[in-house]
Amino acid sequence: MAKRRLNRRQAWRIKKIQDERIARAERKAALPEPPETGADLGPEQRGLIIAHYGTQVEVEALEGPHRGQTWRAHLRANLDSLVTGDQVIWCEGDPTGVIVAQLERKSVLSRPDPYGKLKPVAANIDQIMVVIAPLPEPHAMLIDRYLVAAETVNIEPVILLNKTDLLATDPALQQQMDDLLAIYPTLGYRILHTSSKAGGLEELHAALRERTSVFVGQSGVGKSSLVNALLPEADLRVGSLSETTSKGVHTTTTAQLFQLPSGGSLIDWDDSFAFLLGN
């Protein structure tokens, strides 16, 4: 069923109610013991959306006695579209909580829907890790489109060359990658080198620390493998390259946020950059 269209006064009233909930949650956060609001729902508190499952989301508590724990939650009617990375005001429930208000975003990634309207897919990103690999073969035009799209939404891009173990035994391939990437440091872009198989993730760990990042790039470049190397407990399903096309097989089904031991967080979604490229 189509979402009900609101007039200006209704939209103003809804925003006013959400602002009041946000202010109330902030006041409660300053109390030694937040008061209960009822038997069915707990007090209003800040949370972080870490995954979206249709009509429900998974929210991580950012305060209170259950800080760091995750809950499933329903969305209150008339909320704007929530995405992974959004900070919200929510109430615990048994067994399912409720999202009652959305906090202001500092950044948002969007993609066009079938009707050409932009639809948000991830929020509050600090940096975009543009992942490439020797195979599938990267192209300068594709990298440039990623970089331009990242600059357009004012989020710092970083080029991440993965699967560097493939270069150790192939001097020609090494030279090809060197030639391809030589221009980017002169333009001020950082380039990291990683391999989930051969180790050497220290540089990546340092780049992700205390920041919210998203991996983007072609299927098959090893994004899920990198997440598994950084967070073995994530256990993402890894796709292999097609033997006939040398292109990756899509494996990730939803944007998901993972907290890193270093203090940063990472959003993984296989198609997360198709929106900015207009695909």
Report the C-alpha gap between 279 and 274 in whole angstroms. Answer: 5
pLDDT of res. 276: 54
Report the C-alpha gap between 23 and 203 in whole angstroms. Answer: 40
Average the pLDDT over each of 105-109, 112-116, 163-167 and give the range with the smallest value: 112-116
DSSP 202-250: HHHHHHHTTSEEEEE--TTSSHHHHHHHH-GGG-PPPPPPPTTT-----
The rounded Cα 275 to chain-centroid distance in angstroms is: 13
Report the C-alpha gap between 56 and 148 in whole angstroms. Answer: 33
pLDDT of res. 180: 97
Report the C-alpha gap between 218 and 223 in whole angstroms. Answer: 9
> What are the residues facing 191 on neighbouring strands?
159
Structural contact between residues 236 and 224, judged by C-beta atoms closer than 8 angstroms: yes
Would strands 108-112 and 118-123 be described as parallel, antiparallel, or unpaired?
Answer: antiparallel
pLDDT tens readout for residues 59-92: 999 998 889 999 999 988 777 789 999 999 999 9
Report the C-alpha gap between 47 and 40 in whole angstroms. Answer: 18
Give SS3 for 192.
strand
The count of C-alpha atoms lying within 13 angstroms of the C-alpha of 154, restricted to the half-sphere facing its C-beta, is 4
pLDDT of res. 124: 95
Structural contact between residues 221 and 136, judged by C-beta atoms closer than 8 angstroms: yes
Where residue 10 falls among pLDDT bands split at 50, 70, 90? low
pLDDT for 230 beyond 90: no
Pairwise pLDDT comparison (244 vs 155), residue with the higher score? 155
pLDDT tens readout for residues 22-43: 776 666 554 433 333 344 788 9
Report the C-alpha gap between 94 and 48 in whole angstroms. Answer: 19
Exposure pattern of 111-145 as b/e (b: 16+ CB <10 Å)? beeeeeeeebbbbbbbbbbbbbbbebebeeeebeb
Pairwise pLDDT comparison (159 vs 256), residue with the higher score? 159
Report the C-alpha gap between 51 and 252 in whole angstroms. Answer: 12
How many CB atoms neighbour CB 75 within 10 A? 21
pLDDT tens readout for residues 144-179: 999 998 998 899 999 999 999 999 889 999 999 999
The count of C-alpha atoms lying within 13 angstroms of the C-alpha of 258, restricted to the half-sphere facing its C-beta, is 24
Would strands 41-53 and 56-61 be described as parallel, antiparallel, or unpaired?
Answer: antiparallel
pLDDT for 274 beyond 60: no
Where residue 132 falls among pLDDT bands split at 50, 70, 90? very high
Average the pLDDT over each of 18-22, 158-162, 234-238, 244-248 and give the range with the smallest value: 244-248
